[in-house]
Amino acid sequence: MGDEVVGVDCLSYAGKLRNMSGFIDKIFFYQKDICSDTDVAEITKEHNPDWIINFAAETHVDNAIESCDEFIRTNISGTKALLEVCRQTDTKLMQISTDEVYGTIAHGSFSEKSQLSPRNPYSATKAAAEHLIQAYSATYGVRTKTVRMSNNFGPRQDKEKFLPTIIRKLRNGEKIPVYGDGTNIRDWLYVKDACKLLYTVLLRGNENEVYNVTHNNEMTNLELIRHVTDILSINFHDNISFVNDRPGHDFRYSVDNSRLQDLGINIATVFQEALKETIKSWEELSSYE
C-alpha cells in the first residue's frame, strides 16, 4: 500500500491539468491557492497529512527581474500561510528550496552550512522563505525539512525555461538566445531523479535540517545546447545567438551533496537518456509547437 497524496495547485500560467493526466485520478486534488491559509487548513484538517511538501513557487529569474510582486506573494507569503497551517494542526513541512540561495561560486561547492547570499529577486524570496521556516521552527516548534535543489529538467516543464526554449527555437527554425558568452554553469538534475532524492530525504532525513539535492551534473549553457543539437542532428554554431547578459546573472551554482549521500541515494539516470526522453515528450506536446 502506497502513500495517500493530496495535491493543491492554483493552476497559474505554468500549471496545466493535462500535466497531471497520468495520475490525477489516483490522488485528491484541489484547485486552491496556498496563500489562502483558510483553504489549506480545511484541506489539512480533512486529510490529516503527515507532511505538507511545498513545491509551489514562482521560479523564473527573468520574470522576477521584470517584476517580483508575484514572487514575494507565492514564495514568501505562501510559505508563511503553510507554516501557519502547520502550527495550527501540528503538521510537518518539507520546503523545496533552491541552490540559488547561496549565490555564485567560482571554485568548490557550497555546503548546507554556507552563508546564504542570493543575488536576484527570485532567489532572495526563496532565502526569505527559509528564514521564515527557521523562525517558525525555533519560535513555535514547527517540524520541518528543507532541501536546496539544483536545476531540474524533464517532461512537461513550462516553455519559459531554458531547455524548452532551446527545443522550441530549434523546431521553429529560430536561433537560441544565449546570455553573455554562454559559459555560465548550471547543475542539471532530471526530475525523476529529483523526486527519488526528495523521497529519500522525506523518509530518512533528520527533522529541522537542510539537505543539498543534486547528482552533481554541471555544465555550461553552451555545453547543454550542444547536447541537444547533437541529439537532433542539428548544427550547433548556426543555431545560437549571443545576447546581452541579464542583470545579476550568477556565473556558477555548485552544491556539495555529501549529507544526501549519507542517507543512501540511487544512481542517477544517464544524462543523454534523460535528455532524449525529455525532448521526445516536448515533441508530443502541442503547447511547444
Q: Which residues are catalytic?
A: 99-100, 122
Comparing CA positions, the residue from 123, 102, 127, 128 lying closest to residue 254 is: 102
CA 219, CA 182: separation in Å to the nearest integer? Answer: 10
Amino acid at 153: F
CA distances from 81 to 3, 33, 34, 84, 137 (A): 24, 10, 7, 5, 14
- The residues near 99 (Cβ < 8 Å, ≥ 6 apart) are 110, 148, 149, 150, 151, 187, 212, 214, 253, 254, 255
CA 11, CA 185: separation in Å to the nearest integer? Answer: 31
Q: What is the DSSP string of 133-175?
A: HHHHHHHH---EEEEEE-EEE-TT--TTSHHHHHHHHHHTT-P
Q: Is 29 helix (H, G, I), strand (E, B) or coil?
A: strand
CA 80, CA 86: separation in Å to the nearest integer? Answer: 10
Give yes or no for a contact between 255 and 210, defined as CB atoms under 8 angstroms apart.
no
| C-beta atoms surrounding 28 within 10 Å | 13
Per DSSP, what are the bridge partners of residue 51? 92
Q: Which three cell numbers stand for residue 217?
A: 551534473
